[in-house]
């Protein structure tokens, strides 16, 4: 069966031997590949061919990986279902008739269907973790700055990170080892040894993640934010507690924690993300990027027509809302308040992690939606990100691992959140389940 996981199926061969030799890694179609079409799921970039590779692509091929193609995604990463792609929706191999999550739904579907061994996605507000949860795979959103964003078509620069999707925690960790490390082309990348107290800049043990997937959770202290359970589907909550019980049976313990700021996280996230999107997507005008206009009239009219025809409805909605939030007279009312809320979210997470090794919640408050269910109700789609967006606001690492299934057989994910550059902690905890 075809799941429409790929937009472009053009193979990029790896360079000889390496840790990923003989393995295929699908790449989300907003990550630049030299000489291979990269569309970001948009008609605006339907024929765009980058002249360079993203840093993560260089690291994949240097490690010997073969890239079998570029995967489908919500247009410019804006969506939770992979239904806003200009190239059609992606099917969920793990739940027929339901969405695979988004915006990295094509990457997760390719792994879940066995069409790729591993995959890369990008996570702005949950876009790696959501599809991992909905397809029964593993997805890691790294700490902001651990993985280079050079060559990633930007949606919201201060929030997004490239991360791995894999069938197991160990395989996801192996892929993270390959793509993590500072990059001179991305000034936001940071050396992990500086952040976690390492003394030797040449000591790369901080980038060794696969050996942490040993399943040893004896003595692990888990914090459970009660706010991230409020309003969640009953089946999802029950499956979540079953997973916590399993971790307890292996020696972990848990306590409840309060994160009062997350009540405002979704609103703050969308104000910030849409504002950054309105700026980033200004370049798609038919002159710098996008189809060359073939209209008669003044430049403003041609510019408007290119964007009207090139962008989908969800992208246009977010550009309009972001532009409004940044406009004169409203910047302080919306954008500044959202940044204040962001600082509050980070403070709450840092405080909660002082007494816990990791925090745990359902990855998504709902099981996979039926196809078409949320397209006419954008607010429902936005609220589905309630458990994932706070992590991006706080720039922390998180992993989604399979927690089980609902009574209807739909996949449920468990999200584990760690301190900054605490990838090893979430990988160790997650490997006890997957």
What are the residue numbers of the active site?
Answer: 28, 103, 127
Contact 140, 171 (CB under 8 A): no
Distance of CA 183 to the CA centre of its chain: 20
Name, in order, each residue with C-beta under 8 angstroms of 251's C-beta and a sequence gap of 6 or more: 217, 218, 219, 220
Q: Phi, psi at residue 370, to the nearest 5°?
A: -70, 150
Name, in order, each residue with C-beta under 8 angstroms of 353's C-beta and a sequence gap of 6 or more: 223, 359, 417, 418, 419
* Cα angle, residue 373 at apex, residues 367 and 274 outer, rounded to 5°: 90
Contact 113, 3 (CB under 8 A): yes
Place of tokens 């630049």: 32
Name, in order, each residue with C-beta under 8 angstroms of 114's C-beta and a sequence gap of 6 or more: none
Positive or negative: CA dihedral 148, 153, 159, 164: negative
* Strand pairing class (138-141; 221-225): unpaired
Q: Which two tokens stand for residue 223?
A: 């914090």
Q: Is 298 helix (H, G, I), strand (E, B) or coil?
A: coil
Q: Where is 248: in which H helix or E strand? A: helix 234-249
Distance of CA 432 to the CA centre of its chain: 22
Distance of CA 289 to the CA centre of its chain: 25
Q: Phi, psi at residue 387, to the nearest 5°?
A: -90, -15
Edge-to-edge strand ranges of the sheet holding 70-71: 6-8, 70-71, 25-28, 118-123, 161-166, 138-141, 398-405, 411-417, 358-362, 221-225, 253-257
């Amino acid at each position: 069966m075809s799941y429409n996981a790929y937009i472009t199926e053009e193979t990029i061969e790896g360079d000889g031997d390496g840790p990923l030799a003989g393995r295929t890694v699908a790449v989300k179609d907003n990550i630049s590949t030299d000489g291979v079409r990269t569309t970001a799921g948009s008609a605006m970039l339907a024929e765009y061919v980058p002249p360079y590779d993203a840093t993560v692509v260089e690291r994949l091929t240097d490690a010997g990986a073969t890239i079998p193609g570029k995967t489908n995604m919500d247009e410019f990463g804006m969506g939770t279902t992979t239904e806003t792609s200009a190239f059609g929706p992606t099917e969920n191999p793990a739940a027929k008739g339901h969405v695979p999550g988004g915006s990295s739904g094509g990457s997760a579907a390719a792994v879940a269907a066995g069409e790729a061994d591993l995959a890369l996605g990008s996570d702005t507000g949950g876009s790696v973790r959501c599809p991992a949860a909905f397809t029964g795979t593993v997805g890691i959103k790294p700490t902001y700055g651990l993985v280079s964003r050079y060559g990633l078509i930007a949606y919201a620069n201060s929030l997004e990170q490239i991360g791995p999707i894999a069938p197991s925690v160990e395989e996801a960790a192996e892929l993270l080892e390959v793509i993590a490390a500072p990059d001179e082309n991305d000034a936001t990348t940071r050396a992990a040894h500086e952040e976690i107290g390492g003394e030797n800049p040449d000591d790369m043990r901080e980038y060794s993640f696969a050996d942490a997937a040993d399943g040893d959770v004896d003595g692990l202290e888990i914090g459970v934010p009660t706010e991230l359970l409020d309003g969640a589907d009953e089946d999802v909550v029950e499956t979540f507690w079953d997973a916590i019980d399993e971790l307890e049976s292996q020696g972990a313990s848990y306590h409840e924690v309060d994160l009062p700021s997350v009540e405002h996280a979704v609103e703050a996230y969308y104000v910030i993300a849409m504002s950054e999107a309105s700026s980033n997507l200004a370049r798609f005008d038919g002159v710098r990027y996008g189809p060359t206009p073939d209209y008669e009239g003044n430049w403003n009219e041609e510019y408007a027509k290119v964007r009207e025809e090139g962008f989908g409805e969800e992208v246009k909605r977010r550009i309009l809302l972001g532009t409004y939030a940044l406009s004169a007279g409203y910047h302080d009312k919306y954008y500044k308040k959202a940044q204040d809320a962001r600082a509050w979210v980070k403070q709450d997470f840092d405080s909660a992690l002082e007494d816990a090794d990791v925090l745990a919640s359902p990855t998504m408050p709902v099981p996979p939606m039926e196809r078409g269910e949320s397209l006419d109700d954008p607010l429902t789609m936005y609220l589905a990100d309630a458990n994932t967006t706070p992590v991006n606001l706080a720039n922390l690492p998180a992993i989604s691992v399979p927690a089980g299934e609902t009574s209807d057989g739909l996949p449920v994910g468990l999200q584990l959140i760690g301190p900054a550059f605490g990838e090893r902690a979430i990988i160790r905890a997650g490997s006890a389940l997957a």
